[in-house]
Structure 1
Amino acid sequence: MHIIKTALLSYGMSGNVFHAPFIDLHPAFELTGSWERSKKLIQNDYPLVKSYPSLESILEDNDVELVVVNTPTGTHYDFTKKVLEAGKHAVVEKAFTITAAEAEELEKLAKEKGLKLAVFQNRRWDSDFKTVKKIIDSDILGEIVEVTFSYEAYLPALNTKAHLEEPSPAAGLIRDRGPHMIDQALFLFGYPKAIFADLAIMRTNSRVNDYFELILYYNDKRVRLKGGFLAREMAPSYIVHGKKGSFLKNRADQQEDRLLAGEKPNNTDWCAEPEKEWGVLHAEKDGKEFTEKIPSEKGNYLDFYEGVYQAIVNDSSEPVTATEGVQTMKIIEAALKSAKDGQIVKL
């Protein structure tokens, strides 16, 4: 078996929760270590790995084949470019870059060097989204006409991470949670013909956008994406209406909470949703109307890394391609323009 030796560029929450456990679990990956600037923590969890003192020390390590760029968004372009120029494959956290032009340049560079470049849109492998996709793909709802995806919480206090709250081209909820929802919409429905966006600051003393609503225009449907931090009581996170029925589903994937609690993923019984979180399908079949609860699919971020493995070893497409990452960045840029001008932006 080809073993892909992999290094992280950070071992904060992202590295500790979303990457290292799945790299360690997958038999075709070997975690070599992480760049750690001040706190040296990775060896507490993985004693046999390295704590790299610099990015250069990772790039100079000939054993490292894949680098996970999981640092703040503002660093993604520079760090990923250096990784690719060093001849190593890359996985890049969302948001992919700050601008679409940066994303396109990285995509071009990876192709020129024959390297794999994947964007870590892990929410495609959440149980709730997988369930929504299964329902849509089944055609039980008929032609889809109206969709609302929301990613809301009640978090009125400002985040203690300065890079998330200080005004910068990389800050704001549209760049934090927006990429997840935009990616999900494009994955299901393709690229829209136009977009309208409303961005706002709602929390006391906030200096960056912490509310957004996007409308994606398609010839035959409208897709609304919403995010905010002041929803103490939340509506269903996924509302899908078709000409034959509707499906409502809460955002209830268990993976992040269990990983934050220190659980390690496994291949057998990882994060099934409880029955109380199952979605509601209201549709008709053979001319008869019915309502029923739909068991949730199982989510597993390991499937993302299986896709990365297949891409590197068998030259298949990345699980989330750089092209898809570019499209998400173009939507974000169009949303910023729409919100500034107060107009629909054609794509």
Structure 2
Amino acid sequence: MSKTLKVGLIGYGFAGSVFHAPVITSVPGLALTKVVERRSDKSKERYPWVEVVKSAEELYADETIDLVVVTTPSTDHYDFVKDALLAGKHVVVEKPFTPSSAEADELIALAKKQGKVLTVFHNRRFDGDFLTICELLRQELLGDVMEAEFHWDGFAPVLKSTNWREGSEPGTGVWYDLGVHLLDQALRLFGVPATIAADIRKQRGGEAHDYFDVTLGYGTGLKVRLKSSKFVRESFPRYALHGAKGSFVKYGIDPQEAALIAGAQPSAVRNWGKEPKELWGKINTSLGGLRAEGVIETIPGSYVDYYRNVMEHINGQAELEVKPEEARLAIQLIELALQSSKEGRALPVTFAETAPIA
């Protein structure tokens, strides 16, 4: 029988309160037990049964805690993950994994030495639009994809926020914050590229970069462009893929984030993650020699599936969906892109190959 895993959450800011706690408490077999909050007891308002502790050390010292979830700023991920592993805990850490691939390598080696599970919260693999694209490629509905463009744009031309993401420490800025999601998706779909060419900038006068335009080149002729800007008032498609048989274009963003921000509990919402028809992606392709044009119903997204997979893997029932080595690859590409942008040239990618799903 599966063991119920007791979970300790470090941090109850935006990520901890919006993305992690509601999803964890929607998975039968996971029991949110302790929350580290240094200056408040907010988690008890929604989860009155949890015990609030004021330091991570108190959490590590609890021998009944099986899984520690780190939702601190990414600048602190290395220390918290290392200490949790040394305390004998399995660990989920928010993305990005770490500010540097060298730190990621150390943590992966430590997890193996300790015999503990280490994984990164790449929840965007569980967005409905991405799951739909995965299925389109599995069924070869677009043929060999030769061009793809992923956007994460917005309109915020004046820098107002003063949180850690806009600071100057390693691991800050939009390329780490949002770019890591798009990189993880590109790696999942197409594998490791042959080259990377990046333009990463500070457009609003802040300390951290707030714009990126990154192109991944593949030996097959495929080109994947990843882009984010704070000066986009009229949205581009979120995803656009073009192949030998046809194209798929998708606007809008997965509805799970907005629902979670509004306070919804995944386990209490019927048809969780289901997207309205007006946001379904458009396809123009060939089927059996016939031209087909229309919309593709978006597969419902489910961040719950991420945590269910972690639980099942710890219990020896499933392969781990987000492997730390995959998350480390994304950090390596982030570092290489920053070098490419600084040097103003495309750079070769020499990392170990991973198998794409396409």
TM (norm. structure 1) is: 0.97
Which residue matches 2:356? none
User: How far apart are the structure 1 equivalents of 2:116 and 2:319?
Assistant: 11
Which residue matches 2:344? 342
Which residue matches 1:22? 23
Checking the alignment, whether the CA contact within 8 Å between 1:9 and 1:70 is kept in structure 2 is: yes
User: How far apart are the structure 1 equivalents of 2:187 and 2:270?
Assistant: 30
Which residue matches 1:89? 90
Which residue matches 2:34? 33
Amino acid paired to 2:37: E
Q: 1:273 aligns with which of 272, 275, 280?
A: 275
Q: Secondary structure at the match of 2:294?
A: strand
Q: Secondary structure at the match of 2:58?
A: helix
Summarize deviations over 1:22-78 as a string: whole Å, max 9, x none: 111111100012110112201111111011110100000111110011100110011
User: How far apart are the structure 2 equivalents of 1:73 and 1:94?
Assistant: 7
Q: Secondary structure at the match of 2:196?
A: strand
Which residue matches 2:189? 188
User: How far apart are the structure 1 equivalents of 2:339 and 2:328?
Assistant: 17
Summarize deviations over 1:132-182 as a string: whole Å, max 9, x none: 111121101111111101111112232534211122212111011011000
Counterparts of 1:1-347 in structure 2, within 5 Å, are: 1-203=2-204, 205-220=205-220, 221-266=222-267, 268-314=270-316, 316-347=318-349
Q: 1:159 to 1:56 in 2, by over 3 A?
A: farther
Checking the alignment, whether the CA contact within 8 Å between 1:249 and 1:278 is kept in structure 2 is: yes
Checking the alignment, whether the CA contact within 8 Å between 1:128 and 1:250 is kept in structure 2 is: no
User: How far apart are the structure 2 equivalents of 1:60 and 1:172?
Assistant: 34
Q: Secondary structure at the match of 1:314?
A: coil
List alignment gaps of at least 5 residues for structure 2: 350-358
1:185 CA drift (Å): 0.4
1:319 CA drift (Å): 1.9
1:269 CA drift (Å): 1.6
Which moves more between the two structures, 188-197 or 159-168? 159-168
User: How far apart are the structure 1 equivalents of 2:312 and 2:156?
Assistant: 39
Amino acid paired to 1:227: S
1:317 CA drift (Å): 3.3
User: How far apart are the structure 2 equivalents of 1:108 and 1:166?
Assistant: 29
Q: 1:325 to 1:178 in 2, by over 3 A?
A: same
Checking the alignment, whether the CA contact within 8 Å between 2:274 and 2:298 is kept in structure 1 is: yes
Checking the alignment, whether the CA contact within 8 Å between 2:92 and 2:121 is kept in structure 1 is: yes
User: How far apart are the structure 2 equivalents of 1:75 and 1:91?
Assistant: 14
Q: 1:159 to 1:33 in 2, by over 3 A?
A: farther
Amino acid paired to 1:282: N
Amino acid paired to 1:254: P
Checking the alignment, whether the CA contact within 8 Å between 1:117 and 1:318 is kept in structure 2 is: no
Q: Secondary structure at the match of 1:223?
A: strand
Q: Secondary structure at the match of 2:35?
A: strand
Amino acid paired to 2:225: R
Summarize deviations over 1:182-231 as a string: whole Å, max 9, x none: 0000011111111110011222x323211001111111111111111111
Q: Secondary structure at the match of 1:307?
A: helix
Checking the alignment, whether the CA contact within 8 Å between 1:236 and 1:249 is kept in structure 2 is: yes
Q: Secondary structure at the match of 1:280?
A: strand
Which residue matches 2:354? none
Checking the alignment, whether the CA contact within 8 Å between 2:238 and 2:253 is kept in structure 1 is: no
Give the length in aligned residue pairs: 346
User: How far apart are the structure 2 equivalents of 1:313 and 1:187?
Assistant: 25
Which moves more between the two structures, 313-322 or 227-236? 313-322
User: How far apart are the structure 2 equivalents of 1:268 and 1:318?
Assistant: 27
1:127 CA drift (Å): 1.1
1:297 CA drift (Å): 0.5
Q: Secondary structure at the match of 1:83?
A: helix
User: How far apart are the structure 1 equivalents of 2:26 and 2:324?
Assistant: 25
Summarize deviations over 1:115-137 as a string: whole Å, max 9, x none: 10011000011111111111121
Checking the alignment, whether the CA contact within 8 Å between 1:121 and 1:180 is kept in structure 2 is: yes
Q: Percent identity?
A: 39
1:250 CA drift (Å): 1.5
1:268 CA drift (Å): 4.3
Give the aligned CA root-mean-square deviation in angstroms. 1.2
Amino acid paired to 1:167: S
Q: Secondary structure at the match of 2:152?
A: strand
User: How far apart are the structure 1 equivalents of 2:30 and 2:250?
Assistant: 34
Which moves more between the two structures, 53-62 or 250-259? 250-259
